[in-house]
Amino acid sequence: MKVLVPVKRVIDYNVKVRVKSDQTGVDLANVKMSMNPFDEIAVEEAVRLKEKGAAEEIIVVSVGPQQAQETLRTALAMGADRGILVKTDDAVEPLAVAKILKGIVGEESPDLVILGKQAIDDDSNQTGQMLAALLDWPQGTFASEVVLEDGKANVTREIDGGLQTLSLQTPAIVTTDLRLNEPRYASLPNIMKAKKKPIDEKAPGDYGVETAARLSVVKVTEPPEREAGETVEDVSTLVSKLKAEGAL
Amino acid sequence: MAVLVIADHDNESLFDATHKTVTAAKAFGGDIDVLVAGKGSGAVAEAASKIDGVRKVLHAEGDALEKQLAEAMEALIVPLADGYDAIFAPATTMGKNCMPRVAAKLDVMQLSDITGIEGTDTFERPIYAGNAIMTVKSSDAKKVVTVRGTSFDAAGEGGSASVESVDAPAGPFKSAFVEEKIVQSDRPELTSAKRVVSGGRALGSKEEFDRLIVPLADKLGAAVGASRAAVDAGYAPNDYQVGQTGKIVAPELYIAVGISGAIQHLAGMKDSKIIVAINKDEEAPIFQVADYGLVADLFNAVPELTEAL
Ligand SMILES: Cc1cc2nc3c(=O)[nH]c(=O)nc-3n(C[C@H](O)[C@H](O)[C@H](O)COP(=O)(O)OP(=O)(O)OC[C@H]3O[C@@H](n4cnc5c(N)ncnc54)[C@H](O)[C@@H]3O)c2cc1C
Ligand SMILES: Nc1ncnc2c1ncn2[C@@H]1O[C@H](COP(=O)(O)O)[C@@H](O)[C@H]1O
């Protein structure tokens, strides 16, 4: 079985972003970039499937600038077998990413595509579902458990009221939630080995995909700041303040 | 102009998130129809017909619609889209799961989790865990939108729309429902509760979480929430998680107990009206958004607070 894992290079989750003063976007100059945390979970899941003998090959793909190669190397160091960099300096929207991924699926015929549920930069939460629609594949989004058996993927999903389990015919799309697993850190020997693993370079045009944005950015602004509050010295003061505000 | 609003419900009751989405649809403009897709969901269709401002309810009943499985929802909604300028759904797990499929099939870029509408093609949405607000203009002919509930008031009652049956898609579908573990609770639902008490890693165990957070919430008639760390550690169920990648809440009163205030947590609660933080570390970032901060050991402060109410 082949598993495809799309990984996105995003601002590190620990970085506090700053909006640019000209309101054109956020400042990405000299900030730490990392693999989207949900994609680390996706890579980890694929590697575990391989370790269990359920998967033979893991292909990782990133759509992004030259530096997205580092993100692919990280995934290769975690245990993926080879990478595909679909190189572009444009900001590619989820719909176009899904179309590129559809092209790659056509060439590689994976049985499972595991994506993150959400990229922590655009917070879109849509690429996996879009890919599923474009391929007419079933989807198990927000997965907290994936069990493969008899050509089916049983996916337990984190939904609003609790948990839901679906049985998907493969090939299928899975998107990861936080509780699916805890991603490993790559060991030094594996980081060294990853340097020798192959990364193919492609362009969106190779898949016939136009990356022109459908959503043009009018402006990007700071959210309203909260006024600094006050420190209360004890519980009874807290209670009387809340009463005075009508909150209790 | 016309908007189709996709209802979120459990076949018995219509969720409040639907009413909020109707309000967003009103801001967009035009006639508003609501689609209720389910099984044995007559009461939900009835409830939807009473929402103020709704022209018509479309009601589809079918096995695959019982759990609103994404493929079946896509097959139902895509053909209906012809008659509408926009399709709106709440950004609940239902909306997040189904709507991007619809958008992809219609070849449009979805507008996820919008918090504002500035015209029929211009929308506001938070990015980077709410640390930036982006205003975008869509060039797609049809708009596919999911709506953040905390940004819109619920539409009221008073409507008397007609209910019209529509055929459920035939299938077969490539996914099947196996089971669901839904926690039944008398507590108010987290995203629409007026008060929320959330516990963090500092609680240390599920026992302590239940012993300290739950009685405080009970006293306040509040919903219970949690930080990711508390959920990961098993102190609280996953659907209690408040934050960037969990639930977004904006109650009148939010009490954060033993939560540090990581940006991912703040993303889910910083629009609350009054925020109270109880944390023993006076440097904890949660105090930067708190209206009232109590620097104290929660194991003393929480029982005292519960007692005082
Ligand atoms: C991709 C991604 C998504 C995420 N999504 C979310 C999300 O949606 N929601 C979310 O909450 N987090 C999310 N996180 C996690 C987030 O970054 C933090 O790790 C998490 O919020 C920390 O939880 P916490 O505040 O309970 O724990 P900690 O950060 O460990 O804080 C515990 C706090 O308790 C205080 N404390 C300790 N003992 C006591 C005591 N006896 N009395 C009083 N105070 C005490 C400490 O001073 C500390 O401030 C996400 C992270 C990633 C990478
Ligand atoms: N540029 C990209 N390159 C590779 N994978 C991507 C890219 N954008 C999105 N993805 C995948 O789609 C998931 C969801 O992203 P989004 O829909 O943008 O929130 C991510 O977690 C990735 O797995």
pLDDT of residue B17: 97
Does the pLDDT value for residue B171 go beyond 90? no
More confident residue, A107 or A226: A107
Q: Minimal Cα–Cα distance from B163 to chain A, Å?
A: 27
Q: What is the atom index within ligand 1 of the atom nearest the CA of B297?
A: 42
Say what percent of chain A tops pLDDT 90: 96
Does the pLDDT value for residue B186 go beyond 90? no
Mean pLDDT (chain B, rounded): 97
pLDDT of residue A62: 98
Q: What ipTM goes with this model?
A: 0.97
Cα dist. B5→A95, A144, A164, B22, B23 in Å? 22, 29, 24, 7, 10
Report pLDDT digits (tens) over A64-78.
999 999 999 999 999
Residue of the CA atom closest to atom 8 of ligand 2: A8
B293 contacts A137? CB cut-off 8 A: no
Q: Minimal Cα–Cα distance from B81 to chain A, Å?
A: 16
The pair of structure tokens assigned to B37 is 């897709």
Determine the average pLDDT of the residues in B199-226: 98
Say what percent of chain A tops pLDDT 70: 100
Does the pLDDT value for residue A6 go beyond 80? yes
Which of A217, A222, A229 is the closest to B293 by Cβ?
A229
Does the pLDDT value for residue B31 go beyond 80? yes
Does the pLDDT value for residue A121 go beyond 90? yes
Does the pLDDT value for residue A147 go beyond 80? yes
pLDDT of residue A129: 98
- For ligand 1, mutation pick of B191, B196, B201, B257 (most atoms within 8 Å of CB): B201
The pair of structure tokens assigned to B195 is 């008060």
pLDDT of residue A117: 98
B221 and B195 in contact (C-beta within 8 Å)? yes
Does the pLDDT value for residue B185 go beyond 90? no
Q: Specify the amino acid at residue B47.
A: A
Residue B263: pLDDT band by 50, 70, 90 thresholds? very high
pLDDT of residue A74: 98
Report pLDDT digits (tens) over B140-156.
999 999 999 999 999 99
3-state SS track over chain B = CEEEEECCECCCCECHHHHHHHHHHHHHCCEEEEEEEECCCHHHHHHHHCECCCCEEEEEECHHHCCCCHHHHHHHHHHHHHHCCEEEEECCHHHHHHHHHHHHHCCCCCEEEECEECCCCEEEEEECCCCEEEEEEECCCCEEEEECHHHCCCCCECCCCEEEEECCCCCCCCEEEEEEEECCCCCCCHHHCCEEEEECHHHCCHHHHHHHHHHHHHHHCCEEEECHHHHHCCCCCHHHEECCCCECCCCCEEEEECCCCCHHHHCCCCCCCEEEEEECCCCCHHHHCCCEEEECCHHHHHHHHHHHC
Residue B71: pLDDT band by 50, 70, 90 thresholds? very high
Does the pLDDT value for residue A227 go beyond 90? no
pLDDT of residue B100: 98
Please check whether residue B185 touches A, CB under 8 A: no
Q: B28: Cβ–Cβ under 8 A, 6 or more apart, which residues? A: B1, B3, B86, B88, B117, B120, B143, B145
d(CA A1, CA B168): 35
Determine the average pLDDT of the residues in B43-54: 98
Q: B119: Cβ–Cβ under 8 A, 6 or more apart, which residues? A: none
Which chain A residues touch B231 with a CB distance below 8 Å? 178-179
pLDDT of residue B264: 96
B98 contacts A248? CB cut-off 8 A: no
Mean pLDDT (chain A, rounded): 97
Q: Based on C-alpha coordinates, what's the Rg of chain B? A: 20
- Give the pocket of ligand 2 (CB within 6 Å): A 6-8, 36, 38-39, 42, 61-64, 92, 94, 97, 115-116, 118-119, 122, 124-128
pLDDT of residue A135: 98
Residue B43: pLDDT band by 50, 70, 90 thresholds? very high
pLDDT of residue A63: 98
Determine the average pLDDT of the residues in B244-270: 97
Q: How many CA atoms lie within 13 A of B198 on its CB side?
A: 42
d(CA A129, CA A148): 20
Helix (H) or strand (E) holding A35: strand A33-35
d(CA B192, CA B248): 10
Cis preceding linkage at A138, omega within 30: no
pLDDT of residue B203: 98
Q: Using CB atoms and an 8 Å cut-off, which of residues 118-157 of chain B contact chain A?
A: 122, 125-140
Residue located via tokens 């389910």:
B38
Task: Give A6 Cα–ligand 2 centroid separation in angstroms.
Answer: 6
Does the pLDDT value for residue A228 go beyond 80? no
